[in-house]
Amino acid sequence: MPTNSVFINPSSMLDAKVWLDINIVGAGSYVNNDLVYLQKQSWLGIARDARRGTVNISEDDIQFNQSRNKYHAYNRNFVHTLAAVWSQGDFAAGLSTGVRSYTDVRGVPDYVAQFIENGVADYVVQHDIRYQMERLRIASSQFGEIKGSFAYTFKKHGRDMFMAGVSISKFFPLAGGGANIYDVDFIVDNDSLIQYNDFTVDAMYTPNPQFNTGKGWGFDLGFTYQRMLGEASVYYPNSAKYGCRQNPYKFKLGVSIMDLGSIKFPEDQIQYAGYNFSNFNWEQYQDAEANEDNVTDLYAQQEENIQQGEVRQPNKMSLPTFMSVQFDYNLWASRVYVNGTIIQGIPAGRRTFGVRHANSLSVTPRYESYWIELALPFSLYEYRYPQMGAAVQLGPLTVGTDKLISWISRTDLYGVDIYMHLKIPIQYNPKCRQRFKGRGGRGGPFRRKDNSMTRCTI
């Protein structure tokens, strides 16, 4: 469905299997980390117990995986409201609205993971040891979005089609925050004293989240090559110009770069602190209390000018930019396909706050028709954590997850994923409907180069 695929490659709107795809509402949430987990649970079991009012998760069920050198956590959420994509002939256009949210924590050292589980003051095993923390990034951003997209088939030759697409998004920042830890060299002496040899950190957050029309623009760019089963030069998808017939592709290859840009909060809506000090003894740290009006000023007395740091524009946050390559192969009768997709997140610059999009590699076999679709994605989150998912479309409703096992089987729960979409897919160009009455499907013969005749349906 092009109202979904435009978020991974804007050129994918072209040659859609529906003339007009209208998204009524869609929502989803993905959570993952590699430190904290619920032991031997399933989300369906937890949901069932919650419905009965018998949820009983104790501290013993919350476990910590202390077997890694570095840890991370990642969350993305979305709500897609009204959206539509029109695809006809060599052109496609779309408009979508919604809200997105991202949170990303990366580079957490193993000793910090131990402190998270056991506390700092009481975990004497890690006292009187010198630690150095570098390149730890924490970022979270939430924003509304209006996205306009356009795509064009710029070349057709033989059985080859070449397509390009672009999206421009206007963002409305809602909330955000981040911490860039460049270098923290310290010793936890005991339960009341920490010695800082070096402390170079920038931190920012919005204390009062609110909708604003502050600056925020983003751009997507994508290309797609399709190898068709029939002649491409005279093919005009979803158009009476081609007799309203479909010319299926044998395979297609897409390349895209998404979410180039940033959001910017009004300067008077953020709290910021830039630290660069050394040789400081933090006494009675266990009794320290953060300032409710500005949690970033904990070490304000050690900094001459807390408004200056490594980040030059602290009210600006980079978008979760990523590059992607997609490959889709028509295995059988334009019904059974297999898709492979790589997503590579591009981190924010050293002197910028911003979320890094999660990396992934996925292989997804699927069966699709107009009313029914079944997909079974197998993916490697961050290229190393395997996930098995499932998605089902029944008419206008699609429900899916990338973490099927965590829903149906008692296992260690490091995260959760679920999404749904409610759509009105209008299959035919109005000029084509009369042609298909009594045929039981969309189709009509087209002639291949080998002069064989094929009838196509969806």
Residue by residue, DSSP assigns 44-61 as HHHHHHHHHT-----GGG
Residue 458 has pLDDT above 70, yes or no: no
Share of the chain above pLDDT 90, in %: 80
Which is more confident, 434 or 240?
240
Burial of 119 (C-beta count, 10 Å sphere; 0-12/13-18/19+): exposed
Residue 266 phi, psi (nearest 5): -55, 140
Which pLDDT score, from 0 to 100, does residue 449 have?
42
Residue 20 contacts residue 85 (beta carbons within 8 Å) = yes
H-helix or E-strand spanning residue 381: strand 378-381
> Model confidence at 258, in pLDDT bands (50, 70, 90)?
very high
Task: Please report, to the nearest 10 degrees, the dihedral formed by the alpha carbons of residues 377, 355, 9, 263 taken in order.
Answer: 150
Residue 446 has pLDDT above 70, yes or no: no
Tens digits of per-residue pLDDT, 384-394? 999 999 999 99
In 284-321 the beta strands, taken as DSSP E runs, fall at: 316-318
Which pLDDT score, from 0 to 100, does residue 424 have?
94
Residue 455 has pLDDT above 90, yes or no: no
Which pLDDT score, from 0 to 100, does residue 299 have?
92
Residue 308 contacts residue 277 (beta carbons within 8 Å) = no
Which pLDDT score, from 0 to 100, does residue 384 have?
93
Which residues, 6+ apart, have CB-to-CB distance to 70 below 8 Å? Answer: 106, 107, 108, 109, 110
Map out the domains of the chain as residue ranges: 2-455
Which pLDDT score, from 0 to 100, does residue 443 have?
47
> Model confidence at 437, in pLDDT bands (50, 70, 90)?
low
Tens digits of per-residue pLDDT, 282-305? 999 998 888 888 889 999 989 888
Which pLDDT score, from 0 to 100, does residue 273 have?
95
Which pLDDT score, from 0 to 100, does residue 2 have?
92
Tens digits of per-residue pLDDT, 341-367? 999 999 999 899 999 999 999 999 999
Give the whole-angstrom CA distance, residue 100 versus residue 25: 14
> Model confidence at 441, in pLDDT bands (50, 70, 90)?
very low
Which pLDDT score, from 0 to 100, does residue 241 have?
81
Please state the rounded mean pLDDT for residues 24-47: 96
Residue 242 has pLDDT above 80, yes or no: no
Share of the chain above pLDDT 70, in %: 94
Tens digits of per-residue pLDDT, 91-138? 999 999 999 999 999 999 999 999 999 999 999 999 999 999 999 999
Residue 226 phi, psi (nearest 5): -120, 135
Rounded mean pLDDT of the chain? Answer: 92
Which pLDDT score, from 0 to 100, does residue 240 have?
84
